[in-house]
Structure 1
């Protein structure tokens, strides 16, 4: 039988994909490096050549997922038209419909066994999504729709509030508590950006 020798990048991506599927099915905490090796039928030396630990492999899986989501967001943003507020609305409403596999991964992160993955993913998402939103906020300031000296930082704060405070995997709110926080978010964003009253009410369409 002829031994197939794969290019380094191809092998690395194969390991990331296999780990991603195992994390999805078994959960991060219950998946071992041995499981990934068995899935791909590769030697211990091979997997540890690319990833020194399961934690390092987790980072690669999350980086891959976040890169895919941000790439989709950039494609949506490239299609958007109008002023900054119109483009923000278009981006947010359309980004809610993520790629089905990516969405399955995101939903899976709410499982108790994936708490470590969950927090790290949210941090990575905020870090990479904020520049996209920051540019739109800066555009809005130039157009006189928003007013803030800190476009990027405002984006980070708003994303953190939305990602963390409405996440039942982090905060075990009652239904009433969650509803109150969701209802408060449009006002929070409008206040942060000095935006017109009611201009971010569309967020309720995404968060409810």
Structure 2
């Protein structure tokens, strides 16, 4: 068998095609054979890089999280505001509203009760996103728009609560129950001196879960 001179490109092609099929058909309804046919590659070529559909999904999700982190970095670099608190509010609202950032949401929701997936999501939120948010909170301490001695801890708690605790799919909650928890999160962050959960952000989160059919 001839050696593949461009394995990185092959892997990227497999992930792009697989992600497209997962979005269009759903993960459970997409078979390895569907992926192979769409790729126009041999089964051996696909299995050379990935041992199973679950392994492909894991790689697709890691790529998605990496791209989301890159988009957040770009938002931080280009978002203009009067102060750090306002900048962070705008970044959070834009992140929720951006359709590209949530292209994989239906796949994510289907895997939300997978323990390994949940742990990976928590780690990604704390290790990557929270670190970026914490840096802006530190800037807010300097300009007087954010008032906390614990910016790192506040950022980590915020990410865990908004991504996990307030997720209606994970805990099988109704829309009113989810809305109440988001309002509590808004109140809690304000009491901590980090007033970053706007009414608009709450509504955007509620609407996003509605689009995914996430409520009981």
TM-score range, shorter chain: 0.7 to 0.9
* Cα distance in 2 between the residues matched to 1:137 and 1:45: 49
Match of 1:206 in 2: 204
Match of 2:61 in 1: 62
Q: Is the 8 A contact 2:179 2:202 kept in 1?
A: no
Deviation readout 1:1-33 (Å, 9 max, x if unpaired): xx9x66211111000011112222332234333
TM-score, structure 1 length as denominator? 0.80
TM-score, structure 2 length as denominator? 0.77
The alignment yields a C-alpha RMSD, in angstroms, of 2.8
* Cα distance in 1 between the residues matched to 2:139 and 2:96: 22
> Is 1:17 aligned with 2:10?
no
Deviation readout 1:100-120 (Å, 9 max, x if unpaired): 4x4332144334x77549736
What is the Cα deviation at residue 168 of structure 1? 2.1
* Cα distance in 1 between the residues matched to 2:70 and 2:103: 17
* Cα distance in 2 between the residues matched to 1:80 and 1:18: 32
How many aligned residue pairs are there? 199
> Is 1:106 aligned with 2:100?
no
* Cα distance in 1 between the residues matched to 2:203 and 2:99: 19
* Cα distance in 2 between the residues matched to 1:199 and 1:50: 43
Match of 2:71 in 1: 72
SS of the aligned residue for 2:104 comes to: helix
Distance 1:199 1:44, change over 3 A: closer
Gaps of 5+ in 1: none
SS of the aligned residue for 1:52 comes to: coil
Q: Is the 8 A contact 2:72 2:95 kept in 1?
A: yes
* Cα distance in 2 between the residues matched to 1:165 and 1:141: 27
Gaps of 5+ in 2: 207-216
SS of the aligned residue for 1:140 comes to: helix
Match of 2:122 in 1: 123
Match of 2:162 in 1: 162
Distance 1:156 1:24, change over 3 A: same
Q: Is the 8 A contact 1:66 1:121 kept in 2?
A: no
Return the structure number with greater relative CO, CA threshold 8 A, min gap 6.
2
What is the Cα deviation at residue 186 of structure 1? 0.9
